[in-house]
Amino acid sequence: ATVANAAGGTSSQHRPDEAVFDRIRNQADSVAKSFLTLEKYVNLNFMGFHKILKKHDKNSPAHACKQFYINRMHNQAWVRGDYSDVVVRLSSVYSALRNDQSAEENKDASQSFLRSTTKYWVRTEDVSKVKYAILKHLPVFLQKTSTGESDSQLTNSVYFDNDQLELYHGRLDKSPGAIAYRLRWYGAGDPKIVFFERKTHRDTWTGEASVKERFIVDESEVKQVLNDKYPIDEKRKEMAKKKGATEAEVDEWETLVREMVQVVQAKQLVPTMRTQYMRTAFQIPFDATVRISLDTNLCMISERGYNTEGGAKWFRDPEKPLEPNEITRFPHAVLEVKLELGGANSEPPQWVTDLQNSGMLYEVHKFSKFIHGCAVLLPEYVRSVPYWVDDASVRESIIRSGGGRILVKSDHDTGVGPGANEMYNHLLPFGNVKESKMD
């Protein structure tokens, strides 16, 4: 806190000399390195206990005790430790040292920018190092919690599709105009505010960019939207009167709502797949040059197999236990880098390039949580699967969730599935079951 206070509260007129800044920066670097060393120590000890118990159970199966002690370890403070307070404080220090200023909101959409989005897998043991590498250059977007501020927020998204998984196959094939339809909410507990979101794929060669659009409703209104009972005309008047929206904004909102209401009925969409993770976001407010999100503790949950009661229920009862084939826990964190380059900023910042080449990020072209969840948990419904399911690092988690039928056998000639999966074999970051690149 002392370091943060010393660095904070500065302005261009009253900044300490560079020697003071260097001293504070070195102290921050020292704290960060000590934290990363401690976390590595914790991880090594956990892995050591894990291997000892595994060997014990293998040599003495009649007295197996691994699961008992693993459960106890998960309840220990040194394993459960929430380090977000360290990340938040370090982010504040580095932000003050950079003298970050919110950019002015740019409402001129006519400017020419090169927009790109790249997704990466990050090994769990590298998550803290990646966070540290980013927060030295971008501030953490702080999340308000009941106990203060956190660096991450629980995010739930329920994706809708029909019996043919039409939306899944459209997104997998990258068909022009293919949509993803989801309901999203933030924070723990049942949703109160729900975001209806639609993502539409556009081929880059057309000159059009893929778009994400959304509108907000109260949870009590979700059933009305799904059943085409939402009072759009009434909400339109309320929006114009109470919120002061322009006629063009109201028209745009109404068009989106009507289209999203109609597509549920036309395509017979129902809750299909949920994604759940803790999201950490990095960005200078109103500056879209570099935006980064990091999703940890990622899992996908099947939303099939229960009575939706005509739209009244659109996500699983959290009190009911899940079967192994109803949930898959993804073994990596997922990092997304969004760049908006143009004018004088035609190249990404050097630190972004350095991070991409650090060896901690593994690019996975067009990775999708929704597609992965459907392929693994609904294998009997899918006609084709994404190339990355053949990656050696995710194989165990897929088998554990009952999705083994989408994988080739371990003694397969090539180690990858047929068709497009053979074409994209070179994109697998950790190799395949036959030629694994895992340590």
Tokens of 121: 């897998």
Reduced to 3 states (helix: H, G, I; strand: E, B; else coil), residue 431 is strand
SS3 372: helix
242 noted as active-site residue: no
Quick check: 403 and 374 in contact, CB under 8 A? Answer: no
On the CB side of 432, CA atoms within 13 Å amount to: 22
Catalytic residue among 369, 409, 434, 437: 369
Query: Residue for token digits 């994209």?
Result: 424
Helix (H) or strand (E) holding 275: strand 270-282
- The partner residues of 184 in beta bridges, in order of sequence, read 157, 195
Query: Residue 316: which residues within 8 A CB-CB, separation 6 or more?
Result: 274, 301, 303, 306, 322
Q: Which two tokens stand for residue 271?
A: 């809750």
State how far the Cα of 334 lies from the Cα of 336, in Å rounded to an integer: 7
Residue 81 C-beta-side C-alpha neighbours within 13 Å:
14
Strand duo 211-218 + 362-363: pairing: unpaired
328: which 2 tokens? 């898959």
DSSP string over 196-230: EEEEE---GGGTPPPEEEEEEEEGGGHHHHHTT--
CA–CA gap between residue 293 and residue 298 (Å, rounded):
13
Contact 184, 194 (CB under 8 A): yes
Helix (H, G, I), strand (E, B) or coil at 252: helix
Name the DSSP class of 405. G
Distances (CA, A) of 49 to 17, 52, 242: 49, 5, 59
Phi, psi of 292 (to 5 degrees): -130, 135
CB environment 299-325: b (16+ within 10 A), e (fewer) = bbbbbbeeeeeebeebbbeeeeeeeee
Longest Cα–Cα distance of the chain, Å, equals 73
Catalytic residues: 369
